[in-house]
Amino acid sequence: MSKKKMNSRSLESVAQDLDSAMMTSAVMSSQSAVDKKRKSWISDDDISSDVITISRELQCNQQLEITMVREELLKKQKESDEKSKSSNALRVELDEKSKSFDVLRQELQQLEEKYSVELTTGEHFLNSARGKTLLMSTGEKAIEGYRTSSAFRDDVLQQALTIHDQVVVECRRQLQETKIVSEDIVRMIDSSVPEPGD
């Protein structure tokens, strides 16, 4: 009796173990099917293609950044070169102006020295007997030249007319004061000469 009970229990245990094993197998088989489906959804080729695409995008982005950085560096280099050229041009211009200034300063110094020598020499010469003779001769020639010029003749005539008018006016005044002759005769004396104040 007890053996039958033990056998029945063993059978039940074996049955439970079989049920458990079958369930486990079913679960694993279901999981395997799911895994297979997942693997069928994402193949190795798809993954490889995605990796290649991402890699290419990264390379493109890196290349673009490198190109932008290179362009910026080239731009700054160009600006630096232009500033350097401008600085060199200014330096050359400054050097040329400095040389020109030095030349002008030397010329000025030479002129000052020459003027000083000529001034000293001229003063000595004019104070000498020969210099005085030359001055007198030059003055006489200038006076003679002026006397023979038309300007001198015009000046003499103008002075003579002025003196003539003054004499006529003075004669009229004296005759009027002395009343030696009549007023009509006084007016007849060179009527072309106006009275003072007319």
Q: CA-CA distance, 135 to 156, in Å (whole number)?
A: 26
CA distances from 116 to 33, 68, 73, 113, 121 (A): 121, 71, 63, 5, 8
For residue 103, give both structure tokens: 């030349």
Per-domain boundaries in the chain: 149-198
So what's the pLDDT on residue 7? 46
Whole-prediction pTM: 0.30
So what's the pLDDT on residue 29? 55
Question: From the first residue on, what is the mean pLDDT of each consecutive set of 10 residues in the chain (198 residues)?
Answer: 47 59 56 51 62 80 86 88 86 88 90 83 80 85 87 90 86 82 75 69
Residue 190 DSSP label: T
So what's the pLDDT on residue 145? 87
So what's the pLDDT on residue 13? 63
Q: Which of 51, 70, 71 is nearest to 59 (CA)?
A: 51
CA distances from 22 to 11, 19, 25, 29, 31 (A): 16, 5, 5, 10, 14
So what's the pLDDT on residue 18? 59
So what's the pLDDT on residue 179? 80
To 10 degrees, the CA torsion angle through 28, 29, 34, 39?
Answer: 100
So what's the pLDDT on residue 4? 44
For residue 181, give both structure tokens: 């002759």
Q: What angle do CA 92, 98, 101 make, to 5 degrees?
A: 145
For residue 102, give both structure tokens: 């030095």
Q: Count the neighbouring beta carbons within 10 Å of the beta carbon of residue 193.
A: 17
Neighbouring residues of 185: CB distance < 8 A, sequence distance ≥ 6: 175
So what's the pLDDT on residue 130? 83
